[in-house]
């Protein structure tokens, strides 16, 4: 909270031309509440005076209504992640949007991504109007259409800007995501077998 500026009756008269009797009248009407000094003198909040005079407007801080979502699969792609974020920011700034960036390093087949969960919660809470991504696979390797339908059911527009992406990086990332699927599947299969009791 900002520090309140306190003014004496004389200072108010000099600044705004308001007589002390007017201040006392506002007090009696409950429109103004003075602060008493240790010596018993009245001091008035500058914001209270300006509100009564119609001179003060509270600053309205709006929450971001646009989410820029960026993702890469591995730590080795961190530089690409930063470039991806910058391209999304440039796009949003050209549109003059108030935005929030959600970025993460996680496989596109991982359903428990922290950033994705945060994004989905923002959507459910009605805090988002638009979600901007570079490519569909940034949001999810599989199930993109389901997520798009989810956003649309909450009135959220999903914008894909199709930015620049190195084809070699995309191929490597796809391979890593496929390996993650096979690894996860194998762990489940062997885990279930390991849990069986031998005769």
Phi, psi of 158 (to 5 degrees): -100, 120
Percentage of residues in the chain having pLDDT higher than 90: 48
Confidence of residue 107 (pLDDT cuts 50, 70, 90): confident
Query: Quick check: 157 pLDDT over 90?
Result: yes
Active site residues: 73
**At 146, is the secondary structure helix, strand, or coil?**
helix
Q: Containing H/E element for 41?
A: none
Q: 60 pLDDT band (50/70/90 cuts)?
A: very low
Of the given ranges (89-98, 155-164, 180-189), which has the lowest mean pLDDT?
180-189
SS3 123: helix
- With H, G, I as helix, E, B as strand and everything else as coil, classify residue 13: helix
Task: Read off the pLDDT of each residue in 158-177 and give the average, rounded to a whole number.
Answer: 66
pLDDT for the residue 1: 38
């Amino acid at each position: 909270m900002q520090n309140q500026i306190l003014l004496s009756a004389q200072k108010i008269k000099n600044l705004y031309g308001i007589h002390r009797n007017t201040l006392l009248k506002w007090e009696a009407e409950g429109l103004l509440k003075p602060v008493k000094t240790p010596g018993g003198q009245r001091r008035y909040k500058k914001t209270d005076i300006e509100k009564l005079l119609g001179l003060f407007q509270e600053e309205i801080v709006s929450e971001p209504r646009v989410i820029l979502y960026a993702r890469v699969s591995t730590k080795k792609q961190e530089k690409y992640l930063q470039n991806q974020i910058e391209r999304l920011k440039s796009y949003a700034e050209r549109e003059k949007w108030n935005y929030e960036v959600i970025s993460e390093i996680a496989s596109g087949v991982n359903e428990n991504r922290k950033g994705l969960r945060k994004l989905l919660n923002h959507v459910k809470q009605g805090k988002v109007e638009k979600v901007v991504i570079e490519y569909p696979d940034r949001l999810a390797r599989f199930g993109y259409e389901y997520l798009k339908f989810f956003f649309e059911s909450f009135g959220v527009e999903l914008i894909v800007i199709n930015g620049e992406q190195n084809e070699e990086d995309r191929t490597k990332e796809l391979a890593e995501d496929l390996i993650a699927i096979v690894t996860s599947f194998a762990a489940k299969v062997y885990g279930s077998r390991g849990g069986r009791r031998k005769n």
